[in-house]
Chains A and B, each alone.
Chain A
Amino acid sequence: MNLLVIFISAALINNFVLSQFLGICPFVGVSKKIDSAFSMGIAVTFVMVIAAMVTWLIYHLILVPFRLEILEYVAFILVIASLVQLVEMFIRKVSKPLYDALGIFLPLITTNCAILGLALNAVLNDYNITETLFYSIGAGLGFTLALVIMAGIREELELVDIPHSFRGAAITMVIAGSLALAFMGFAGLI
């Protein structure tokens, strides 16, 4: 039961993008078309889950027993950077078209604060390994959801006359604000 709460909380109530402000850069950058938004979301979810598990293990099995908690940030970001590198090579081998579609945004997953934020939160909230698993899957899917909804809205906006100053990032922020307002309604879910 608790695992379900953690999952729903990470995906909807405390959505990483719309309520915790993590992963905004790809949110603004990749949310123009629904398919690329979805691909990005899944890629990020994939990296999130593995990164969360690996960093959890490193923190609880190496850093804490040896009183090396001060190395938390350096260790975590190096793990994430290496993981993204590996995922990049993996996707390139397995599906070249997907690799091309994601383009420059794949290496940029490294600086996606959502991943580092997720890893740090899992440690901060003192989750065990199973809770971390559900937490990261929920977070990734919630991120994907926000991205896809935003892409859907922006595709519609292509046909609309937006005031010149608001074109681009500004209108995206305003829409995000409305989405965030809507997602606040999830608070009563549990």
Chain B
Amino acid sequence: MSNTAKIIIVLTAITLISGAVLALLDSYTRPKIESYRKIQENNAIAEVLPENDRIKEIVQDGYVFYEAYRKNELVGVAFQISGGGYQSELVLMLGVSPDFSRITGLKILSQVETPGLGTKIEKDESNKQDPGWFINQFKGLRTLPSITYVKNAAPSRETEIQAITGATVSSKAVVDILNTHIKKAKAARNIE
């Protein structure tokens, strides 16, 4: 068998077998990974919304909104938002009041920021009493005209939060993502 033929046959065989093995792997693992992601998402939705007795999913203008109802009255809306952080894509689950004027809850779904600095937006190990202090600031925060942040000082307005020292970019990114998406989502739901 000529050398060229051997080269082609061996390379093709290896690639085909690799492809077949990976296709099999995909069929096993894709559903599992997807279901894990769904569980995380559902947990986050429950966490950011106020008490409710049912949740209705509705798609409007590119956003998937999870509307929470209590005795048939809309009490909150949750939706996933994302944007660029310092060095990674930040994915968050945001819960707001029906008129989007107040945040009912915020949870970080994924981030790969600088360990020990940017990662404090999710969990601040140095704060033993309240490691989730940064993200907890957003609960109850007013959103109009826009959310702002302040450095090295306590927030002075009901639309203000305190940024993490040494992780201003990550903190600012969260605020920017919130402002951008709150505006877009309001438009999608035809709210002024």
Contact = CB atoms under 8 A, between A and B. Distances in A.
Nearest to B168: A188
Contacts of A70: 22-23, 25-26, 30
A125 B84 contact: yes
Nearest to B118: A187
B55 to A, nearest CB: 27
Q: Is the interface of A mostly helix, strand, loop or mixed?
A: helix
Given A187-B169, A190-B169, A9 B23 contact: no
Q: Is the interface of B mostly helix, strand, loop or mixed?
A: helix
B90 to A, nearest CB: 11
Contacts of B169: 187, 190
Interface centre among B18, B19, B30, B169 (most CB of A within 10 A): B169
B42 interface: no
Contacts of A14: 86-87
A125 B18 CA distance: 27
A124 B91 CA distance: 12
A126 B89 contact: yes
User: Chain A, interface size: which category?
Assistant: 10 to 19
Interface residues of B, number: 15
Interface in B1-46: 18-19, 22-23, 25-26, 30
A159 interface: no
Nearest to B84: A125
Nearest to B30: A70
Contacts of A190: 169
Contacts of B19: 71
Interface string B146-166: 000000000000000000001
Q: Would you list the 4 A-B pairs with minimal beta carbon distance, nearest first? A: A70-B26, A14-B87, A70-B22, A125-B89
Interface of A: 2, 9, 13-14, 20, 70-71, 74, 124-126, 187-188, 190
Given A2-B84, A71-B22, A125-B84, 8 more contacts: A9-B86, A9-B87, A70-B25, A70-B26, A70-B30, A124-B88, A126-B89, A190-B169
16 contacts: A2-B84, A9-B87, A13-B86, A14-B86, A14-B87, A20-B87, A70-B23, A70-B25, A70-B30, A74-B18, A125-B84, A125-B89, A126-B89, A187-B166, A187-B169, A190-B169
